[in-house]
Structure 1
Amino acid sequence: MTPSVSVVICAYTEQRWDDVLAAVASVQAQSLDPHELIVVIDHNADLHARLARALPDAIVIENQEARGLSGGKNTGVAAATGEVVAFLDDDAVAGPEWLRTFAEGYADPEVFGVGGLTLPWWATERPRWFPEEFDWVVGCTFTGRDPGRVRNLLGGNASFRRVAFALAGGFPTHIGRTSARERPLGCEETEFCIRLATRRPGARFVYDPRAVIWHRVPVARQEFRYFRSRCYAEGLSKALVTRSVGVANGLSVERRYATAILGRGVARGMLAAWRGDPAGLRRSGAITAGLLSTTTGYAVGTFRGLTAGTSR
């Protein structure tokens, strides 16, 4: 039997007005109708009032927790009544089979989460220096992520059984984005998946690339400065995750990513340069710079955690 699926979209700024409407329209055009569509507004009363008027067929509510994406998601989960809760970024649009693919993934009772493929929707065109291995920097699926069972899902294109939140609690509000003006932290879904798997042994998460969405990448996020900043912030986030769930769980996937996937990416860029594509060297350099920035962020975040622990 196909489970009912509630969709949650978290929004926070009027600057993404058209994006939010496009995201909502893509949900309303699904081949499988959502059980309900919940739009959570992050501490912005004007935006809440405006969207409530513009979206009469959606449930438009205000974030009842701390400012930020985690609080907004938790508020959406609390309001949801479907058997499954799916999350879509407010600056993304879903393909027509997105929800149906998610729902079919729950035929196995041990599957507690299903995620999909997120493709970049570049404002101009893909920068030639930007390595596909780092598409996670702009909220998309990186090259090297294999379909099937995964340790964790990626938050902007993911779904979970609603009972999972009763088992493990909500997304951690001390991890993840809190403001567009602050460092672009993340990993709230990583910590949640690891915590759920610990509290519900046997729970599985599946990545199914047939559940496709397109995530908008504005010009500012196509710049190397943002690339480096986002990598550093990811390192800080990983330090928070490992502090919560331990190093073994928190970095098990990242070790393979750094050694195998990034290693192949550097080699591929150098080979492309040898074959006449000068941007190949730039991609190899960006991979190295991204790894160094992430590692530095992790080291700084770990040191801060140790310092905070000893000062208590």
Structure 2
Amino acid sequence: MTDPGISVVICVYTEDRWEDILAAVSSVRAQSYPALETLLVVDHNPALKDRLAREYKETEGIRVLPNAGPRGLSAGRNTGITASHGEVIAFLDDDAVAERDWLRRFAEGYADPRVMAVGGRTEPVWASGRRPAWFPEEFDWVVGCTYRGLPPGRVRVRNVLGGNASFRRTAFEAAGGFATGIGRDGDRRPLGCEETELCIRLTRARPDALLLIDDRAVIHHRVPAPREHFAYFRTRTYAEGLSKALVARSVGASQGLESERRYTTRVLPAGVARGLRDALLARPGGAGRAGAIVAGVLTAAGGYVVGSVRARRGGRTFSAAPIQPAPEARPGSGGGSHE
């Protein structure tokens, strides 16, 4: 099998992350396995779109385009998928930088034609320079990072994590795109789980599909100072419960909560035990970590109950966009064009 061409999609929305966006693009340009193209999809921010268009006007292989759908991350990703030309589409958060072999590790995973998605490991970069003593590694998903409890190596998983992931184009042609109405959409509440819903829908459409995580495909994700505080932790875990309720509504609780059952019955109790042990040994943050795990479970459960009630009452809805085959490459489409 020939090495796949990989398009990289970076969804952006605010000029407050200008330096982060430039760093993300630079990390893609420095890959040992070159990207076919990099698409910067701007979420309903004309000023940012124009600024990025000027910044990369003469840069080969980078395109800047507006989100063609409703406001939000899912629609932005779908816009990038539709506009891209690669056999594989990779997604990188706009406040993250990829290690040099990031795309190479993704490409290696697709040597098996059954593989439809490959994700990687996301490491936090704390604004304060170090992990808050109370913040449990089991909840690093709160800040968009790989959490304790995921298996090491290159392993099969139910779903990849959206900020550091790749999909074969045929996966979207089989299952459709990311569902709008589940993930972040510009509201204050930090919803998520759109990649979980997509991956479950994909394995239903393609029962033979393999979804992998390779922990050698590493990115480093910036965690801003406000997200180091318990107030954000509480808000994010509650929003996760709301999102899980939407996923369960879409694909059923048996699949929608399959991984979460193991996580809550095995990983989290072990985390509480470690925290209490550290507290008894007078190690910093032990009691705080144990308490944060308990609080996170209870808050997420509360969000799930509320989300389930809203779903039964016909609340928030979502839909998965159909994805067309790759567009024909246009002259000059490999670099510097702005749509």
TM-score bin (small chain):
over 0.9
Question: What SS does the corresponding residue of 1:143 show, helix, strand or coil?
Answer: coil
Question: What SS does the corresponding residue of 1:202 show, helix, strand or coil?
Answer: coil
* Structure-2 residue corresponding to 1:138: 143
In the alignment, does 2:201 pair up with 1:195?
A: yes
Of 210, 217, 224, the residue aligned with 1:204 is: 210
In the alignment, does 2:112 pair up with 1:114?
A: no
Structure 1 letter corresponding to 2:38: L
* Structure-1 residue corresponding to 2:263: 257
Aligned-partner Cα distance in 1 for 2:305–2:143: 22
Aligned-partner Cα distance in 1 for 2:300–2:208: 31
* Structure-2 residue corresponding to 1:298: 304
Post-superposition CA distance 1:137-170 (Å, at most 9, x none):
0000001101300000000000000111111111
* Structure-1 residue corresponding to 2:99: 95
* Structure-2 residue corresponding to 1:216: 222
Question: What SS does the corresponding residue of 2:216 show, helix, strand or coil?
Answer: strand
2:133–2:284: 8 Å Cα contact kept in structure 1? no
Post-superposition CA distance 1:188-240 (Å, at most 9, x none):
00000000000111101101000000000000000000000000000000000
* Structure-2 residue corresponding to 1:129: 134
Q: How far does residue 278 in structure 1 lie from its aligned partner after superposition?
A: 4.3
* Structure-2 residue corresponding to 1:234: 240
Question: What SS does the corresponding residue of 2:71 show, helix, strand or coil?
Answer: coil
Question: What SS does the corresponding residue of 2:52 show, helix, strand or coil?
Answer: helix
Q: How far does residue 55 in structure 1 lie from its aligned partner after superposition?
A: 1.6
Structure 1 letter corresponding to 2:18: W
- Unaligned runs of at least 5 residues, structure 1: none
Structure 1 or 2: more helix by fraction: 1
Q: How far does residue 308 in structure 1 lie from its aligned partner after superposition?
A: 2.1
Question: What SS does the corresponding residue of 1:10 show, helix, strand or coil?
Answer: strand
Aligned-partner Cα distance in 2 for 1:154–1:189: 6
Aligned-partner Cα distance in 1 for 2:294–2:171: 37
Question: What SS does the corresponding residue of 1:107 show, helix, strand or coil?
Answer: coil
Question: What SS does the corresponding residue of 2:313 show, helix, strand or coil?
Answer: helix
Post-superposition CA distance 1:66-92 (Å, at most 9, x none):
100000000000011110000000000
Aligned-partner Cα distance in 1 for 2:134–2:109: 36
Q: How far does residue 182 in structure 1 lie from its aligned partner after superposition?
A: 1.9
Aligned-partner Cα distance in 2 for 1:236–1:18: 32
Question: What SS does the corresponding residue of 1:136 show, helix, strand or coil?
Answer: helix
Structure 2 letter corresponding to 1:162: R
Post-superposition CA distance 1:114-148 (Å, at most 9, x none):
00000001001210000000000000000110130
Structure 1 letter corresponding to 2:271: G
Q: What percent identity do the matched residue pairs reach? A: 61
TM-score (norm 1): 0.98
* Structure-2 residue corresponding to 1:35: 36
* Structure-2 residue corresponding to 1:154: 161
2:191–2:239: 8 Å Cα contact kept in structure 1? yes
Structure-to-structure mapping, 1:174-189, within 5 angstroms: 174-179=181-186, 181-189=187-195
* Structure-2 residue corresponding to 1:21: 22
2:6–2:35: 8 Å Cα contact kept in structure 1? yes
Structure 2 letter corresponding to 1:267: A
Post-superposition CA distance 1:81-109 (Å, at most 9, x none):
11000000000000000000000000011
* Structure-1 residue corresponding to 2:330: none
* Structure-2 residue corresponding to 1:8: 9
Q: How far does residue 307 in structure 1 lie from its aligned partner after superposition?
A: 2.0
* Greater relative CO, 1 or 2 (CA 8 Å, sep 6+): 2
TM-score (norm 2): 0.90
Question: What SS does the corresponding residue of 1:283 show, helix, strand or coil?
Answer: helix
Aligned-partner Cα distance in 2 for 1:308–1:151: 28
Post-superposition CA distance 1:260-309 (Å, at most 9, x none):
00010000111111112141011000000000000000000001111228
Q: How many residues align?
A: 308
Aligned-partner Cα distance in 2 for 1:248–1:226: 29
Aligned-partner Cα distance in 2 for 1:53–1:14: 14
Structure 1 letter corresponding to 2:50: A
